[in-house]
Amino acid sequence: MPTSSSPQTDMTPAHRKLISGWLFLLCFMLLGMIAIGGVTRLTGSGLSIMDWQPVSGFIPPLSHAEWERLFALYQTIPQYHLQHEGFGLEGFQKIFWAEWIHRFWGRLMGLVLLLPLIWFVVRGMITRRLALRLFIFFILGALQGAIGWFMVASGFRPNSTAVEPVRLVLHLSAALLLYGAILWTAFSIRWPTPESHGSSSAARLAKRLACFTIVLLCTTIIAGGFTAGTHAGFLFNTFPLMDGHLIPTDYAQLSPFWMNWFINKAAVQFDHRLLATLTALSIGAVLLVGLKATDLGAKAHNAFILLGWAVVIQYALGVTTLLLVVPVWAGAVHQTFAAVLLGVMLYVLHCLRGTKAVA
């Protein structure tokens, strides 16, 4: 097996294309996982499965007795008594399948990562360092499953009908971190050499702005997680004003003040709106500066244009989701496209990686 310490060396172009394509497939599956997770959250399906069986959970209920057993377990938690009491086995099955598919998809992703990885290692198609990195991704994926169960368990507490927002954000953040790491690795394998080493002041400024913007984007996504976890999106469904005010009148109703950012629904929704707008403006600045940098090459310029379209679509999805009072389809698409926008932002940064950030 090759022993080079870099995933960009000792790999043939054909192998780079094959392995990066496999990693892109995993990223696409992660997007699907995020979408399904949005559906389970918005339909209240996440608490329908009361046990965590990492291996046997691959098999759905195959008998009426097993369905009755699972339904009886569900009837012991507060969500059933507070929201779904009396909806019967058929109603339980509807919410069960959304959560089961979510978990099944996660297990399937683990196999799609592990089995080809073993094959590539045995065939000597990847470097040892890359093999180690990908195995760490597999471990992180398994850990993500544990974080998911940690999140779900919070919904079983007395008088609880949903998971804790903090745990929801932790679960979402871990998924996005894994998605970003795999996507960056795929970019680096597919395009190991920077297209151009821009050195103009515009190129350097574009890279600095892009680095700042991706931090702002991640903060916006985290704020969106709190908006989802606290159901703050259902509170004010007008735009750009909130109950006739630019800033809601009860923004600072909690003490200490910082608690408003995580618990106060009015503040949580306003913060997400504000951060989303600042992110869109920051991306606009990246485009204005980056497109003027003629020494960056066509690939980087195309990445900037793609980023512009992505942020317009995501902002429009956010406003649409709000105005329609968060229907399941819009909420799931908005959540998923946030990860798409993050991926495009990473692609822009990857195109700029040969540019020096300072003069």
pLDDT tens column, 201-240: 989 999 999 999 999 999 999 999 999 999 999 999 999 9
- Among 135, 169, 192, give the residue marking a domain's end: 192
Contact 237, 323 (CB under 8 A): yes
Examine the pLDDT at 6 and tell me if it is beyond 50. no
| Domain encompassing residue 265 | 195-358
**pLDDT number for residue 83:** 87
107, 242: one domain: no
**pLDDT number for residue 356:** 66
Average pLDDT of span 36-58: 87
259-262 — which CB contacts under 8 Å span 24+ positions? 261/226, 262/165, 262/166, 262/226, 262/230
Is 25 part of a structural domain of the chain? yes
**pLDDT number for residue 215:** 97
Give binding residues as ranges.
272, 334
Contact 300, 344 (CB under 8 A): no
- Among 192, 227, 257, give the residue marking a domain's end: 192
- Cα 289 to chain centroid distance, Å, stands at 28
Is 20 part of a structural domain of the chain? yes
- Among 167, 192, 217, give the residue marking a domain's end: 192
Is 3 part of a structural domain of the chain? no
- Note the pLDDT tens digit of each residue in 78-113: 999 888 888 889 999 999 999 999 999 999 999 999
**pLDDT number for residue 2:** 40
Q: Which amino acid makes up residue 9? A: T
161, 208: one domain: no
Give binding residues for heme as ranges.
272, 334
Mean of all residue pLDDT scores within the chain? 92
The number of domains in the chain is 2
User: What percent of the chain has a predicted confidence (pLDDT) above 90?
Assistant: 81
42, 168: one domain: yes
Is 1 part of a structural domain of the chain? no
Average pLDDT of span 247-275: 95
**pLDDT number for residue 7:** 46
Is 154 part of a structural domain of the chain? yes
Q: Rounded to an integer, what distance in angstroms lies between the CA atom of residue 292 and that of residue 206?
A: 9
